[in-house]
Amino acid sequence: MPDLSVNGARHQFDGPALKTLAETLRDDLGLTGTKIACGEGHCGACTVLLDGAPALSCITLVHAVGNREVTTIEGLRDHPLVEAFVRADALQCGFCTPGQIVSASALVAETPEPARDEIRHAMAGNLCRCGTYPKIEEAISAWRG
């Protein structure tokens, strides 16, 4: 049985070959912080990290993850970005927020002081229908408090 490393813990899984990483995380591991909003890789709500790089878990087959470490919002709950998002009011309905924070965490890991254009470039794949974008930009700019 293949196994999957998520947020530092190893899990065995056994599912149909076409099961996505997002479904496995949500349905089998109960990690419902990862949201599925479009199910076809267009909106970014399902973003997780694979070995630190953002990936769309709704179009990633779980069998294709291999040995890469999966990080979900549950693994980033103590990240300063969480507090930065709350402080800046960078969430409204909040359905896209876990994906936003996961994407932002990859950005600040690489670029601790991102410029406005770098934020916009890195975050353009995470849609927010409530239009929280100005506050997201602010939260990421001031993520270290």
Partner 1 sequence: MARLIRTEKEVEGRYTEQWVVVEEDPLAHWPAGPREVVGRPAARVDGPQRARGEARYTADVVLPGMLHAAVLRSPHARARVRRLDLAPVLAARGVRAAIGPGDADVLAEEAGYEGAPVAAVAADTHAQARAALALAEVEWDVLEPLLDPDEAVAKGQLLDEPGRYERGDVERGLAEADVVVEAEYRTSTVLHNALETHQAVCAWEGDELTVYISTQWIWGVRRDIAERLRLPPDNVRVVCEFMGGGFGAKGDPGDHTYLAAKLARRTGRPVRCALTRREENLATGNRNSTIQRLRAGARADGTLTALEGEFVMAVGWDGFVSSTAGPMKMLYACENVRTTELGAKLNTGPNDAFRAPGFVEGTFGLECLLDELAAKLELDPLELRRRNGADADPVDGRPYSAKNLAECYRRAEAHWARREEVRARSEGRWRRGVGLASQIWYGGGGPPSYAWVRVGSDGSATVVTAMQDIGTGTRTAMAQIAAEELGLPLERVTVALGDSARGPYAAISAGSSTTPSMGPAVRAAAADAARQILEIAAQRFQLEERVLSLRDGRIVSADGGSWALEEVTGLLGDGQILATGSRGPNPTGMRVLTFGVQVAEVAVDVETGEIRVERIAAIHDVGRVVNPLGASSQVEGGIIQGIGHTLSEQRLLDPESGRALTVTLDAYKLPTIADVPEIATELLDIPDEHLTSLGSKGLGEPPIIPTAAAIANAIRDATGADVRTLPITREEMLRALREARERAYAL
Binds partner 1 (CB under 8 A): choice among 22, 36, 49, 107: 36
Using CB under 8 A as the binding rule, whether residue 134 contacts partner 1 is answered as yes
Binding piece for partner 1, criterion CB under 8 A, among 4-12, 49-57, 93-101, 107-115: 93-101
- Taking the CA atoms of residue 57, residue 50, residue 110 and residue 129 in that order, the dihedral angle to the nearest 10 degrees is 10
Total of residues contacting partner 1 (CB under 8 A): 53
Task: Read off the amino acid at residue 1.
Answer: M
**Shortest separation between residue 27's beta carbon and partner 1, angstroms:** 8
Q: What is the DSSP string of 64-94?
A: G-TTPEEE-GGGGTTSHHHHHHHHTT--SS-
**Strand, helix or coil for residue 47:** strand
Q: Which residues bind partner 1 (CB under 8 A)?
A: 16, 18-19, 26, 31-40, 42-43, 45, 72-74, 77, 82, 85-87, 89, 91-98, 101, 119-121, 123-137
